[in-house]
Amino acid sequence: MRRYQRGDKVTARRMIADMNVPEVPAGSIGAVVATTVLCRPKRVHFALQTGWGPKQFHVDVRRGDID
């Protein structure tokens, strides 16, 4: 099991969609903002170029969402 730290770069394994954030396509690169007690990523920062312009936001992730 890999331990993540704040600032580590991660890649989205699959599309991440939530009601309060834009869709994150698979393959997008982000940075870990917060981790769980076991050092698994909990929240990731993404900066994406969308049809509406550049967007920056944090996404809560679950097991299997990122690499």
| Boundaries of every domain in the chain | 9-60
Per residue in 48-60, pLDDT tens? 988 889 999 999 9
pLDDT of residue 42: 95
Instruction: Report the distance separating Cα 11 and Cα 14, nearest Å.
Output: 9
Calculate the alpha carbon distances from 19 to 11, 28, 38, 39, 54 in Å: 21, 19, 27, 26, 19
pLDDT of residue 18: 80
> Taking all residues of the chain, what is their mean pLDDT, rounded to a whole number?
91
More confident residue, 40 or 19: 40
2 has a pLDDT exceeding 90? no
Mean predicted confidence (pLDDT) in 11-34: 91
